[in-house]
Amino acid sequence: MDNGFIKICFFTSLFCLIQNLVLGQNTSDSLNYELYKFSLEELEQDSTDNLITLATQTTLRLRDAPSVVSVVTREDIEAMGARDLLDILRHIQGFDFGVDVNGVVGMGVRGNWAHEGKILLMIDGLEMNELMYGTTQLGNHFPPSLIERIEIIRGAGSAIYGGFAEYGVINIVTRGSENLNGLQVNNTFGKAANNGDKTSPLRQNFSASLGRSSVNWKAWGSVFKGSTLRSNQTFTDGLGNTVDMSQNSLIETFTAQAGINYKQLEIRGILDDYKNNTGSNFAYVTPVQFARAFRTAALDIKYQGKINEKLTIIPRISYTHSRPWYYQNQDSIYSNFNNNEFANRFRINTVANYQPTDYLNVTLGSEYYHDHAENEADGFYTGNTYIDFDNIAFFTQFLLKTKYVNVTAGARYDDHSFYPSTFVPRFGITKAWEKFHFKILYSNAFRAPTVQNINFSINQEILSERTSVAELELGYIFSSNFSSTINFYDIITKDPIIYFVGENETEGYVNQKQTGTRGAELEFRYKGEKGFVEVAYSYYTTAGKEGIATFAVDENKNQPIGLLPKKISEDKNQLLGLAPQKFSIWTNHSIYKNLNVNASLIWLSSRYAYNQENRNGQLLLKKFDSNTLFNLSLMYKDFLRDGINISLGVQDLFNQSPPFMQPYDGAHAPLPNLSREFLFKINYDLNW
């Protein structure tokens, strides 16, 4: 184990000491341990923090949901001191982050690089993955000030959610859409310890939400405008060229969202404009700074058609416009980075939910979508500047409670106009007693090729990735204050979609043989009268798994003799860029009336990445030491008047600044992160 693990022991002891001194025993609340039925009347007696709809599209308690799931509450987010979604997900078991191209940062989960269309990200149920490659972009994106809670599936979600849900699903529930009945405004300012420009803030974010509801209707809206730097340090590419990121990594974000409910009708829309300035292209420093913009606009209309007490039919129509990786400039130098492609998706979805008894729930669904993409500059393999695809899907799910166990069975069938059809089943057995629960889960999932995966595939031959995930979860409630869960997983991905560069300038997307990981994730949570402590640990390994060279820590790949790090053979069971071990802890304590102290710690084990090239163009592998991120903040609630909360804090107190590494052999050197950052937040809630 990495020597940095000693830091875990120290800070765990510190947090436990704080817990013993500050947390009181809460005996006033007792947990509802009854087995689930599917009646909303019973479920409404429980806290929404213990309920989830994401796993099945039917409201269940976390202990009963047939998926490995997490719910991150607003209280959790405050305790993490999070600046954005990336900071939040760092605390969730299995999640890690790496750099793709153009300085864009994306997600990995359970050791698998998932940036390109392998985790579905939604905001209030609206898909945010861009449609050309399927990516999502992180870093001052999706602000915590607008988030009420986050529901997460760690594992296969394709049986319900389709081809972007191969490794997981994340649904962000915003404050406006959930329960806001008034106005909420937030300002966040950040300053780095060694910010080059001493007169201006490193981070400047503003957000506002407005909501109003009555018996029959509800309306809400929100807006976010923010800017920050990806890094304030120097990036050095594999050839030794450098760029000052304090002048070449500005991130600018604008997001607006609105919705209205009238009785059973719901209409909502979102506009998201994310601009990532960069001084690097695919891997190397560029002679000029340019920007990549990611723009998404979506409109969704849904009707909750309650036929009777047992049957509900929900038709839904949505339209999404996606313009990712956009940059347009007529200058001869800048025009080398031009990209002006876009895709539109029109979708019709119908779900029928039938509940003949309190112990049986049946879901049937169908979906059709049409993708239309255009690229006037380069066109597509067809020779046209546009291309069209269609997809038809059918899915079903059965939830059955018996005397002995609760059973989930379901499947999805997708028939695409280009690649072969896909069938993915899921099966689960769960059981919750008063103190103990278990879940035995097996799911198949797929990653659907996107527009550019098809367009850039070699000879236009591409298949869906096919993933199988086996999971076992065990949980125990020691008291009404203290609970724990542990889960074990095994992931096998066949026909992974990889960008391949071969001889004779042959390159493009292909399906390779197989990859995967296995591992475990552990969580403890203690909640008392004055606060809570949550501890999480995750571990993955590739031991006993087939792999592909693209992701492998390979001591024989392109390595001249004598340049290998020592003991690399001991670490060959991990993958490039993503830490095989992660430990996190976050806590919230009331220290005086409305004054709370929030603290969080994240420890990442050592990682490998290619960070330079030799004279022959061979990539050189380097082992990077473990990192510890420690964040601390003070929050005063109802400052001067009700609804005004102020917070002072520091992110990365030890200034470890773990870089974002590339989780594949793409020649991009590690991208520097922000250094220590001091934060001031003010939030104002006005209810009426």
* Rounded-to-integer distance, Cα 294 and Cα 137, Å: 8
CA dist 493 and 516 (Å) reads 6
What percent of the chain clears pLDDT 90, i.e. is strictly above it?
Answer: 72
Q: How far apart, in whole angstroms, are the C-alpha atoms of residue 474 and residue 485?
A: 6
Query: Averaged over 346-372, what is the pLDDT?
Result: 94
Question: 504 or 444: which carries more pLDDT confidence?
Answer: 444
- Judged by DSSP in three states, 480 sits in coil
* Mean pLDDT score of the chain: 88
CB of 417 closer than 8 Å to CB of 372: no
- Tell me the β-bridge partners of 218: 213, 261
Pairwise pLDDT comparison (324 vs 13), residue with the higher score: 324
CATH code where residue 35 lies:
2.40.170.20
Question: In whole angstroms, what is the distance from residue 183 CA to residue 337 CA?
Answer: 42
**56-65, 293-302, 352-361, 664-673, range with the lowest pLDDT:** 56-65
pLDDT digits (tens, 9 = 90+) for 136-187: 999 999 999 999 999 999 999 999 999 999 999 999 999 887 777 889 999 9
Q: Model-level pTM?
A: 0.90
How far is Cα 675 from Cα 680, in angstroms, rounded to an integer? Answer: 16
* Number of domains composing the chain: 1
Q: Identify whether the C-beta of residue 355 lies closer than 8 Å to the C-beta of residue 310.
A: yes
Determine contact, residues 157/68, Cβ cutoff 8 Å: no
Show the 3-state SS of 414-465.
EEECCCCCEEEEEEEEEEECCCEEEEEEEEEEEECCCHHHHHCEHHHCCCCE
Cα-based distances in Å from 643 to 182, 185, 659, 666: 11, 10, 37, 49
Q: What is the mean pLDDT of residues 249-277?
A: 95
Distance CA 575, CA 554 (A): 9
> Is the distance from CB of 265 to CB of 305 less than 8 angstroms?
no
CB atoms within 10 A of CB 441: 22
Range of the domain at 329: 5-687
15-25 mean pLDDT: 40
531-550: string of b/e by CB count within 10 Å (b at 16+)? bbbbbbbbbbbbeebebbeb
Mean pLDDT of 505-529: 93
Tokens of 683: 């939030």
366 close to 393: Cβ distance less than 8 angstroms: yes
Q: Is 206 in contact with 225 (CB distance < 8 Å)?
A: yes
CA distance 163 to 152: 17
- Give residue-wise pLDDT tens across range 634-670: 999 999 888 899 999 999 999 999 999 999 999 999 9
Taking a C-beta distance cutoff of 8 angstroms, is the pair 161, 125 a contact?
A: no
| Residue recorded with tokens 């043989």 | 513
